[in-house]
């Protein structure tokens, strides 16, 4: 069984980070849904804080460092993406935006994406809809309808915490549906059956 590969990009700056915590909960909820549907799942977590210097250098030089390049390959090669950012000044963080700025054009076209964000107050929740979602729409990704915002008060064990759990579960269900649909119609890899260069030189062509 081919595993469904989910890349989880966390733009949290601190450690521990509420942004990373939300990213982990979204990934775990999605994995539960997919495993419940007899799907094998592989989750790849990316903490952007570990690549901050390489991202800045990438902007200046146009080329990623080896570690950043490997991370980018894992993200763009995944079947789906969970992307979570802290909200600063009513928008995504600069580090979060920089990561998606250095990706090659069209690398996220058709990619199922679940978006989330964290902040100190629920007043910033609309940043997901007026900043984060439009960015992925511009990149022509497929963003699931439910986005998940977690304010500081959502991490308690009261009704606010239960509300966050419900939003996470709803978003995970939607994300799993899009992942399943994409897997069903995924086009074949045009480079999977390429002819080795040595065979081309020797005139040995298939068929």
Query: Would the pLDDT of 202 be above 90?
Result: no
Q: What integer pLDDT is reported at residue 187 of this predicted model?
A: 45
Whole-number pLDDT of residue 15: 86
Find out whether 113 and 144 touch, Cβ atoms under 8 Å.
Answer: yes
pLDDT over 70 percentage in the chain:
86
Query: What residues contact residue 10 under an 8 Å CB cut-off, 6+ apart?
Result: 17, 19, 20, 23, 45, 46, 47, 48, 84
Tell me what the mean pLDDT of segment 142-156 comes to: 92
Residue 191's pLDDT band (cuts 50, 70, 90): very low
Mean pLDDT of 95-100: 97
Give the C-alpha distances (Å, rounded to integers) separating 15 from 18, 19, 118: 9, 10, 14
End-to-end CA distance of the chain: 29
In a domain, 8, yes or no: yes
Tell me if 20 is assigned to some domain: yes
Give the tens place of pLDDT for each residue, 65-91. Answer: 999 999 999 999 999 999 999 999 999
Contact 54, 67 (CB under 8 A): yes
Residue 82: give its domain's CATH number.
3.40.50.360
Q: Is residue 13 part of a domain?
A: yes
Residues 12-70 have pLDDT tens digits of 998 889 999 999 999 999 999 999 998 999 999 999 999 999 999 999 999 999 999 99
Show the domain range for 26.
4-202
Residue 24 lies in a domain: yes
Give 144's pLDDT tier (boundaries 50, 70, 90).
Answer: very high
On whether residue 186 sits in a domain, the answer given is yes
Residue 113 in domain: yes
Is 207 a member of any domain?
no
Question: What is d(CA 207, CA 39) in angstroms, rounded to the nearest whole number?
Answer: 36
SS3 breakdown of the chain: % helix, strand, coil, rounded to 5? 50, 20, 30
Model confidence at 155, in pLDDT bands (50, 70, 90)?
Answer: confident
Look at the chain and report how many structural domains it folds into. 1
When the pLDDT of each residue in the chain is averaged and rounded to a whole number, the result is 89
Put simply, whether the predicted model's pTM sits higher than 0.95 gets the answer: no
pLDDT value at position 188? 47
pLDDT at position 124: 83
Q: How far apart are the C-alpha atoms of 83 and 165, rounded to whole Å? A: 17
Is residue 177 one of the residues assigned to a domain? Answer: yes
Q: Which value, to the nearest 10 degrees, does the dihedral of the CA atoms of residues 66, 191, 100, 53 take? A: 0
């Amino acid at each position: 069984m081919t595993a469904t590969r989910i890349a989880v990009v966390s733009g949290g700056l601190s450690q521990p980070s509420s942004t990373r915590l939300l990213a982990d909960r979204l990934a775990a909820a999605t994995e539960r849904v997919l495993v419940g549907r007899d799907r094998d799942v592989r989750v790849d977590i990316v903490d952007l804080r570990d690549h901050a210097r390489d991202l800045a250098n990438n902007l200046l030089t146009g080329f990623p460092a080896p570690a950043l390049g490997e991370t980018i390959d894992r993200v763009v090669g995944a079947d789906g993406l969970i992307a979570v950012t802290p909200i600063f000044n009513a928008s995504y963080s600069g580090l979060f935006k920089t990561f998606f700025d250095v990706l090659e054009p069209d690398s996220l076209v058709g990619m199922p994406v679940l978006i989330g964000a964290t902040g100190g107050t629920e007043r910033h929740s609309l940043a997901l809809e007026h900043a984060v979602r439009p960015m992925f729409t511009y990149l022509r990704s497929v963003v699931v309808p439910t986005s998940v915002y977690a304010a500081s008060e959502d991490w308690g064990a009261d009704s606010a915490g239960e509300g966050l759990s419900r939003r996470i579960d709803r978003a995970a269900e939607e994300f799993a549906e899009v992942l399943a649909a994409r897997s069903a119609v995924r086009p074949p890899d045009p480079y999977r059956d390429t002819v080795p260069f040595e065979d081309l030189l020797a005139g040995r062509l298939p068929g």
